[in-house]
Amino acid sequence: MGRWKRSAAARLGSHWWERLWEGLRPLDPYRSVKAALGALVIVSVVITTLLALFAVQSATELRVITIISIVASLLITQFVAQSVTAPLDEMTDAAKAMADGDYSRRVRGGRRDEFGELAENFNRMAADLEAVDQHRKELVANVSHELRTPIAALRAVLENVVDGVSEADPETMRTALSQTERLGRLVAHLLDLSRLDSGVVPLHSRRFEVWPYLAGVLKEANMSKGSGHSRKDVHLHLDVSPPELTAYADPERLHQVVANLIDNAVKHSPQHGRVTVRARPGDAAAGGSADSLEVEVLDEGPGIPESERQRVFDRFNGTHSTESTRGAQGISPGGGTGLGLAIARWAVELHGGSIRVAESPRGCRIQLTLPGKNGQPG
């Protein structure tokens, strides 16, 4: 019982100090902890001096004044020390909560000294960790959904064949093949995503002629249109100027970028639409070398709202924003994974280049720039 009373009294005392500290916050105006501690020393010296003068004038015993000075200094020190330990205690509690998976905890800022800067950085770190954790949860949910959809469709087709509901005719097998190819694309994207996160993908750059290279990419895209997303009506067009244009890049990674952009453009094109792949020399005045390259992929679809343009290259964003936005305007999303544009951005940035959604009077225009040999990292 006595122990409980002592504990309650301790909590009450702690709350009293905290309430007093919350009301006064004497160190907030200082821009440095050193200045605050210097002010503490000055205040202690002034109090001691005043008490000594009082003792001389009032003939008070020196030992009494000494005791009063010590007590006053301890009270001031304890009061100010609370301002030093309180933010550290708060950060410790928040760090423990974050270690347990609660990334919503924040510490109070507002101070102008080192502790205020530390609190701001701590809150920024907590916000980043919370965003990463949320992204991880969304990634797991989206991957699960994307894997489940083609597997369920493939299973349904095969079960119908086994149960005799449908015949194993070419049309049924094409449906099964389409789902298998979709699953294969998703697995390939996830493998690329893992390489992206690990940062272990080296560049194997070389100089090559752009026209025959892009012509091969478009030919492959034409061959895969029917099986990939059943948009045989979309026409692909290549425009390279000058025809002898050369570039210095990793052909495999650039193929990955252009193929993803073409696939995305075809999926969101209108009936009998046209997708144009345009290649030009890069702007040497903007820091590119003589073998820099600028590639644009244009479609005639509904385009991407300006508010979404910064987000279209985020992972899985296509599933929830870009595709849903276009799908609402009558264009079938075609079962995209939302990973293609994220992988395209990664491959372009691996070259030291940039990719963006550019202004276009009609449809969507995605522009990528590769700096050439001199602009590539390390």
Q: What is the CATH number of the domain that holds 240?
A: 3.30.565.10
Q: Is residue 378 one of the residues assigned to a domain?
A: no
Say which residue, 7 or 309, is predicted with more confidence.
309
pLDDT confidence band for 323 (50 / 70 / 90): very low
Tell whether the model's pLDDT for residue 237 goes beyond 80: yes
Question: Is residue 220 located within the same domain as residue 188?
Answer: no
Domain match, 350 and 208 both:
yes
**Quick one: 287 and 216 in the same domain?**
yes
**Distance of alpha carbon 264 from alpha carbon 261, whole angstroms:** 5
Say what the pLDDT of residue 22 is: 52
What was the pLDDT predicted at 185?
Answer: 75
271 by Cβ neighbours in 10 Å (0-12 / 13-18 / 19+) ranks as exposed
Which range of residues forms the domain containing residue 176? 133-195
Q: Is the peptide bond before 251 cis (omega within 30 degrees of 0)?
A: no
Looking at the domain assignment, is residue 122 inside a domain? Answer: no
113-133 average pLDDT score: 85
pLDDT beyond 90 at 131: no
Domain-located, residue 366: yes
| Domain total in the chain | 3
pLDDT in tens, 263-310: 889 888 898 899 999 999 987 545 556 678 999 999 998 888 888 887
Burial of 113 (0-12, 13-18, 19+ CB in 10 A): buried
Bridge partner list, 276: 237, 298
Does the residue 345 lie in any domain?
A: yes
Domain at 149, CATH number:
1.10.287.130
Domain shared by 58 and 148, yes or no: no
Residue 301 dihedral angles phi and psi, to the nearest 5°? -75, -165
Decide if 124 is inside a domain.
no
Residue-by-residue DSSP string for 214-283? HHHHHHHHHHHHHHHHS-TTPEEEEEESSTT-EEEE-HHHHHHHHHHHHHHHHHTPPTT-EEEEEEEE--
Residue 207 confidence (pLDDT): 92
Residue 363 region, left (φ>0) first, then alpha (ψ -120 to 50), else beta? left
Range of weakest confidence among 12-26, 79-93, 164-178, 257-271: 12-26
DSSP one-letter string for 301-370: S----GGGTTTTTSTTHIIIIIHHHHHTTT----S--S-HHHHHHHHHHHTT-EEEEE--SSS-EEEEEE
Task: Inform me whether the pLDDT recorded for 328 exceeds 60.
Answer: no
Distances (CA, A) of 14 to 11, 18, 75: 5, 6, 14
Same domain? For 338 and 302 the reply is yes
Range in 35-44, 91-100, 316-325 with the lowest mean pLDDT: 316-325
**Nearest alpha-carbon partner for 119 in 148, 100, 82, 94:** 94
Residues 364 and 217 grouped into a single domain: yes
Q: Are 360 and 303 in contact (CB under 8 A)?
A: yes
- Whether the predicted pLDDT of 156 surpasses 50: yes
In a domain, 24, yes or no: yes
Same domain, 253 and 151: no
Distance separating alpha carbons of residues 108 and 315, to the nearest angstrom: 32
Give φ, ψ of 201 to 5 degrees: -95, 110
- What is the C-alpha to C-alpha distance for residues 306 and 312, in angstroms, rounded to an integer? 10
pLDDT tens across 29-64, in order? 656 666 667 777 777 777 777 777 777 777 667 677
Q: Is 44 buried (19+), middle (13-18) or exposed (0-12) by CB count in 10 A? A: middle
Whether residues 335 and 243 fall in one domain: yes
Among 79, 102, 125, residue at a domain's last position? 102
Same domain, yes or no, for 157 and 186?
yes
Q: Which of 195, 221, 237 is the last residue of a domain?
A: 195
Do both 208 and 355 map to the same domain? yes
Is the confidence at residue 169, as pLDDT, over 50?
A: yes
Q: pLDDT digits over 173-211, tens only? A: 887 887 788 788 778 777 777 776 666 667 888 999 999
Task: Answer yes or no: is 111 within a domain.
Answer: no
Higher pLDDT, 368 or 317: 368
Within a domain: residue 116?
no
pLDDT for 268 equals 87
Q: Which of 277, 275, 297 is nearest to 214 (CA)?
A: 277
Question: What does the alpha-carbon distance between residue 265 and residue 298 come to, in Å, rounded to a whole number?
Answer: 7
Percentage of the chain surpassing pLDDT 90?
Answer: 17
What pLDDT is recorded for position 368? Answer: 94
Domain identity same for 255 and 348: yes
The pLDDT value recorded for residue 181 is 80
For 105-114, 159-168, 190-199, 364-373, which range has the lowest pLDDT when averaged over its residues?
A: 190-199
Q: Which of 89-98, 145-154, 155-164, 241-250 has the lowest mean pLDDT?
A: 145-154
Mean pLDDT is lowest, of 8-17, 90-99, 129-138, 190-199, for 8-17
Final residue of a structural domain among 195, 221, 249:
195
To the nearest whole percent, how much of the chain has pLDDT over 70? 72
What is the rounded average pLDDT for all residues in the chain?
A: 76
| Domain co-membership, 98 together with 25 | yes
Residue 13 CA to its chain's centroid (Å): 45
pLDDT of residue 285: 47
